[in-house]
């Protein structure tokens, strides 16, 4: 899918030139001639990247950049500031305004394409994470990757077999970060990528094939998501482009401008951390979706899903699946006598004992209230009853600490066991017969296990 680029410049000839270059590389191009127009187009056309001129009438690039980066709709669109050659103040001001990168006029084809490729790739990952969020998993608000202000020092692996060059890069990075040179990393065991935030990879290495190494980093579990900043010579443009295709995140050209190096490293580290946070939140939200908040056991939704899978297998001739329902005896009395906080303590302690005493492979769930279900795959009825009896003894055999250990309580449970039978056993039948068995156990005086065959 081709990316959409918004080109903003007040001079028509400049817009035309960039448009021609980008169209030639099959990008879709939209244009604007000043900052205000750029805001309008960005809000309505959703470009994947914005090339933003600095000097413009009505509203200049800095102001537009700041507004774009402050609005929720547009803050995730990467912005490349296009500045006059050698205008360092403008570059820095652009970065302060939140720009993701900069290009200098006249815009060099290679620099243009490499920046756009690098930034659209990042946006693609972001969009993917965002769409997963939008598909129903709330992950809450994450601070945008604010490109202003200082960042926590990062651990950066500098890969260059030319020791002198490597040291010089290390020296620059040391001002803000904790660089590790490749030669040191080998002996420290950091070469595998553990604990590393960013890899700086020199393309002119002789001792190894840098492109092969780049591909290797991108294929390994530990290093796959690490950003790689390529250091290239001007005559290595082709190789640098290839590195981007292999998954490198950004390129810096020799001779290295130390300020540019610092800025690019900062940007990459920030993005990596932002993506890490996104991924972590997604993992947490997925866990949240299947976990009972109070006890940490699986919730009813997950229980039904798992039961469905195991029953389908059992009905198709696979091994039987058993369940037991465990219900805390006289739980209402606990709540009425001691209050709901103590009730919660009892539920949590019970959940703990349940977790500790089920077999690996069993799935302990909280069905709701004081009712718990354990799913036991590949388990015939007699084994399930034995497991239920073991848990009953673990509960009745020892007091429950309550009121944060200041007091203790005698707790017992009743359990109803049921096992899938035949070819058409439904979840409903299985749970209903376990429920009837539980009723039998309550009726017979509580603190015991009863079982029934599913109808
Ligand atoms: Mg201008």
Q: Structure tokens of 57? A: 């009438």
Ligand 1 centre from 251 Cα, in Å? Answer: 26
How many domains is the chain partitioned into structurally?
3
Q: How far apart (Å, rounded) are the C-alpha atoms in residues 392 and 173?
A: 61
Q: Are 270 and 317 members of one domain?
A: no
Q: Are 122 and 153 members of one domain?
A: no
Q: Is 370 a catalytic residue?
A: yes
Q: Are 278 and 151 members of one domain?
A: yes
Q: What is the pLDDT of residue 455?
A: 66
Domain stops at, among 99, 120, 137: 137
> Any idea what DSSP says for residue 53?
E
Segment 175-234, tens digit of pLDDT: 999 999 988 877 766 667 778 999 999 998 888 899 999 999 988 888 888 999 999 998
Q: Are 156 and 130 members of one domain?
A: no
Residue 276: inside a domain:
yes
pLDDT for residue 433 is more than 70? yes
Beta 228-232 vs 250-253: how paired, if at all?
parallel
Domain stops at, among 105, 120, 137: 137
Which one is catalytic: 128, 349, 370, 429? 370
Residue 255: inside a domain:
yes
Segment 270-280, tens digit of pLDDT: 888 888 887 88
Ligand 1 centre from 9 Cα, in Å? Answer: 6
User: Which residue is associated with the tokens 């540019």?
Assistant: 260
Domain stops at, among 81, 107, 137: 137
Ligand 1 centre from 58 Cα, in Å? Answer: 11
Q: Are 398 and 266 members of one domain?
A: no
pLDDT for residue 286 is more than 80? no
Q: How confident is the model at residue 300 (pLDDT cuts 50, 70, 90)?
A: very high
Q: How far apart (Å, rounded) are the C-alpha atoms in residues 58 and 44?
A: 20
pLDDT for residue 360 is more than 80? yes
Q: What is the pLDDT of residue 122?
A: 78
* Overall average pLDDT of the 137-162 stretch: 69
Ligand 1 centre from 56 Cα, in Å? Answer: 5
Q: Are 124 and 183 members of one domain?
A: no
Q: What is the pLDDT of residue 44?
A: 94
Ligand 1 centre from 84 Cα, in Å? Answer: 9
Residue 9: inside a domain:
yes
Residue 186: inside a domain:
yes
Residue 231: inside a domain:
yes
Q: Can you tell me whether residue 287 is helix, strand or coil?
A: helix
Q: Are 63 and 160 members of one domain?
A: no
pLDDT for residue 141 is more than 50? no
Query: What is the CATH classification number for the domain harbouring 332?
Result: 3.30.70.270
Q: Are 145 and 132 members of one domain?
A: no
Query: What is the CATH classification number for the domain harbouring 80?
Result: 3.40.50.2300
Residue 133: inside a domain:
yes
Report phi then psi at 326, rounded to 5: -115, 130
Residue 94: inside a domain:
yes
Domain that holds residue 151: 141-285
């Amino acid at each position: 899918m081709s990316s959409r680029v918004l080109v903003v410049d007040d001079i028509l000839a400049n817009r035309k030139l960039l448009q021609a270059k980008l169209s030639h590389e099959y990008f879709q191009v939209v244009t604007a001639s000043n900052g205000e127009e750029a805001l309008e187009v960005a809000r309505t056309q959703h470009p994947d990247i914005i090339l933003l001129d600095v000097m413009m009438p009505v509203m200049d690039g800095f102001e537009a950049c700041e507004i774009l980066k402050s609005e929720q709709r547009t803050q995730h669109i990467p912005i490349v500031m296009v500045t006059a050659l050698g205008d360092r103040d403008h570059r820095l001001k652009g970065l302060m305004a939140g720009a993701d990168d900069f290009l200098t006029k006249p815009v060099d084809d290679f620099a243009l394409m490499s920046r756009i490729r690098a930034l659209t790739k990042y946006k693609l990952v972001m969009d993917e994470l965002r769409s997963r969020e939008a598909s129903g998993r709330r992950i809450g608000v994450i601070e945008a990757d604010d490109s202003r202000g200082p960042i926590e020092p990062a651990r950066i692996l500098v890969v260059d077999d030319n020791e002198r060059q490597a040291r010089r890069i290390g020296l620059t990075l040391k001002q803000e970060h904790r660089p590790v040179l490749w030669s040191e990393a080998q002996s420290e065991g950091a070469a595998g990528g553990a604990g590393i935030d960013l890899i700086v990879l020199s393309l002119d290495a002789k001792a190894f094939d840098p492109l092969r190494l780049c591909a290797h980093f991108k294929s390994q579990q530990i290093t796959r998501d690490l950003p790689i900043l390529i250091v290239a010579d001007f005559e290595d443009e082709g190789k640098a482009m290839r590195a981007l295709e292999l998954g490198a995140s950004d390129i810096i050209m020799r001779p290295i401008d130390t300020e540019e190096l610092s800025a690019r490293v900062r940007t990459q580290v920030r993005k990596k951390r932002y993506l890490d946070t996104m991924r972590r939140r997604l993992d947490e939200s997925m866990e949240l979706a299947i976990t009972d908040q109070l006890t940490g056991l699986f919730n009813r939704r997950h229980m039904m899903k798992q039961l469905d899978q195991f029953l389908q297998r059992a009905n198709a001739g696979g091994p039987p699946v058993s369940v037991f329902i465990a219900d805390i005896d006289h739980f209402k009395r606990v709540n009425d006598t001691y209050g709901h906080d103590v009730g919660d303590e009892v539920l949590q302690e019970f959940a703990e004992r349940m977790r500790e005493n089920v077999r690996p492979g069993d799935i302990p769930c909280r069905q709701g209230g004081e009712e718990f279900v354990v799913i036991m795959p590949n388990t015939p009825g007699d084994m399930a009853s034995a497991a239920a009896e073991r848990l009953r003894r673990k509960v009745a055999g020892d007091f429950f600490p309550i009121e944060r250990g200041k007091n203790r309580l005698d707790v017992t449970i009743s359990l109803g066991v049921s096992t899938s039978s035949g070819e058409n056993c439904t979840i409903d039948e299985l749970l209903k017969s376990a429920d009837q068995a539980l009723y039998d156990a309550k009726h017979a005086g509580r603190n015991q296990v009863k079982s029934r065959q599913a109808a």
